[in-house]
Amino acid sequence: MTISSYTERPGSRTEEADGLSVPWSRPSPKRKGVSARMISAVTILVVLAAWALSARLQLVSPVFLPSPVAVWNKFIVVIRDGFVDATLLQHVVASLGRVFAALVAAILVGVPVGLAIGISTVGRGIFDPLLEFLRPIPPLAYLPLVIIWFGIGEPSKILVIAIAMLAPVALSTASGVRGVSQERVNAARSLGATKRQVVRHVILPSALPSILTGLRIALGAGWSTLVAAELVAATRGLGFMIQSAAQFLVTDVVIMGILVIAAIAFVLEFTIRRIERALVPWAGRE
């Protein structure tokens, strides 16, 4: 079969053929499937419907499981009138301030520690066992010790959240540093770059995707620690609001606070993903 015989076949337009398909074969139709977002939306709707039906049939007492409408109405009331001497916005601002202050502290400590673990054998020997010791400890275990050392003020709450965030940031940074291509490091050194320039212009940009992934994990750990941190002598905050509502069996406020925390965590996760796409467009394109 000659080359010209291929061109005589019907439907052998070059724009329809790729490098692997037979030239005269029909292009395979695109598969139309159900998207993951649609499945997620249906799942949420099913859970809400089951919740509403359970409340409608009173399978569980409203004291323990109020209806979605009751939770929404309480959400409006807390926004307008507040709960335990503060509006919902004031509780959210107080919690966000603690979480972001802890995140800054975790970045300032965790990124240099992660760089030391990834670059230096001495740094790995010093910090790696400390992080492995600290990482599995639940926040409620070291909360009493932090209170004894630093009191019941704002620094102790931020410190408890920062400790929970430290290990994800440091370990993700160390993982990113270890994954840096040795050829890039050698190329920079052969061009005369100093050790500091190699760290700044080669290692840090290459490890940035892992660092941002660590920040996402750290934010999740921080939000999960928030309620424990606000147990101690807090007067505002979402965790304080939930704990106060639980003491008086105001279940609709408890559920509303949990949903608000979940919504804020979702927004932060979405924002960090957008920042990751903007700052490190080369991520995953080695």
* pLDDT beyond 50 at 253: yes
Q: Which of 22-26, 48-52, 221-225, 244-248 has the lowest mean pLDDT?
A: 22-26
The residues with which 83 forms a beta bridge, in sequence order, are 86
CA distance 271 to 249: 34
CA distance 266 to 238: 16
Burial 259-269 (b: 16+ CB within 10 A, else e): ebbeebbeebe
Q: Which residue has the tokens 């892992």?
A: 210
Nearest to 107 by CA among 219, 26, 239: 219
Q: Specify the CATH number of the domain 64-277.
A: 1.10.3720.10
CA–CA distances in Å: residue 144 to residues 81, 238, 259: 34, 21, 28
Check: CB of residue 229 under 8 Å from CB of residue 143.
yes
* pLDDT beyond 80 at 12: no
Quote the pLDDT of residue 100.
Answer: 92
What is the pLDDT confidence band of residue 76, given thresholds at 50, 70 and 90?
A: very high
Extract the runs of DSSP E, i.e. beta strands, from the chain. Answer: none
* pLDDT beyond 70 at 30: no
**Region label for 137, one of left (φ > 0), alpha (ψ between -120 and 50) or beta (otherwise):** beta
pLDDT digits (tens, 9 = 90+) for 104-152: 999 999 999 999 998 888 988 999 888 888 888 888 788 888 888 888 8
CA–CA distances in Å: residue 79 to residues 47, 52, 73, 92, 262: 25, 23, 10, 11, 17
* pLDDT beyond 80 at 7: no
Question: Taking the domains of the chain in order of start, what are their residue ranges?
Answer: 64-277
Q: Which residue has the tokens 């004031």?
A: 90
Residue at 224: amino acid letter: S
Q: How buried is 230 (Cβ within 10 angstroms: 0-12 exposed, 13-18 middle, 19+ buried)?
A: buried
CA distance 143 to 162: 12
pLDDT digits (tens, 9 = 90+) for 153-196: 888 889 989 999 999 999 999 988 988 888 888 888 888 888 88
Check: CB of residue 244 under 8 Å from CB of residue 237.
no
Segment 7-31 shows an average pLDDT of: 47
Where do the H-state alpha helices sit in 179-236? Answer: 182-190, 195-198, 204-229
3-state secondary structure of 207: helix
* pLDDT beyond 80 at 5: no
